[in-house]
Amino acid sequence: MSDISLAVVDGARRMTYAELAAVRGISKHAAETLVRRRKWLKQIGNDGVVRVLVPPDEAPRRQRVTTNTDCDPPLSAPLIREVVGEAVGAYIGPLTAQLERETIRAERAERQLEVERQRVEDSRKRIDELHTALADAVTAERIAAGEAAALRTIVTGLQERPWWRRWFR
């Protein structure tokens, strides 16, 4: 903070919202709300930054210090790691077991899927074979029907001729 901000009437300080928030330990938005609520004077500088005239008894708000004698002594880093490790292990153990079960289940499903795909492929081949056999049978039947029709035509043609034409062919 520059010396200019301290040179204000009655010991008041000019502070930006960010400086006020840092000094009081609050957010910038909360600092803006505080300035509006207390109706402190504001001034926009040439740099475009808003500075607030903060009374001397409001600016350096002390942080609350708790003096609770019932608290446990601070934990050391290795002890914290051990406690956190145990807690994480308690959660990770069941999750790992569940992951293994689900992995086995997924592998089993993939194998079953492969078996079903093979069945579908075999069924398609069988269907193609049956279609081919059916087409051959239909073709043979049509040929037989055609030959039968031709024979019928010949036989009926023979029967329709007069008897003497049948002899002198």
Using one digit for the tens of pLDDT, what is the confidence trace for 69-115? 555 556 677 777 777 778 887 888 888 889 999 999 999 999 999 99
Structure tokens given for 126: 């069988």
**Residue with more model confidence, 157 or 150:** 150
Percent of the chain with pLDDT over 90: 38
The pLDDT of residue 3: 47
Cα–Cα distance measured from residue 43 to residue 53, given in angstroms and rounded to the nearest whole number: 8
- Reply yes or no on whether the pLDDT at 23 is more than 80: yes
Residue type for 100, please?
E
Query: pTM higher than 0.95 for the full model?
Result: no
Give the residue, 150 or 99, on which the prediction is more confident. 99
What mean pLDDT is reported for the chain?
81
Task: Find the radius of gyration of the CA atoms of the chain.
Answer: 50
Residue 116 pLDDT > 80: yes
Distances in Å between the Cα of 31 and the Cα atoms of 7, 34, 47 are: 22, 5, 20
The mean pLDDT of 129-155, rounded to a whole number, is 83
- The pLDDT value recorded for residue 5 is 47
Give the lowest-confidence range in 110-119, 121-130, 139-148: 139-148
CATH architecture of 4-54: Orthogonal Bundle (1.10)
Phi, psi at 54, each rounded to 5°: -100, 125
CA 106 to centroid of chain Cα atoms: 19
Biggest CA pair distance of the chain: 151
> Among residues of the chain, what percentage have pLDDT more than 70?
78
Could you report how far apart the first and last alpha carbons of the chain are, in Å?
Answer: 134
pLDDT at residue 50, rounded to an integer: 92
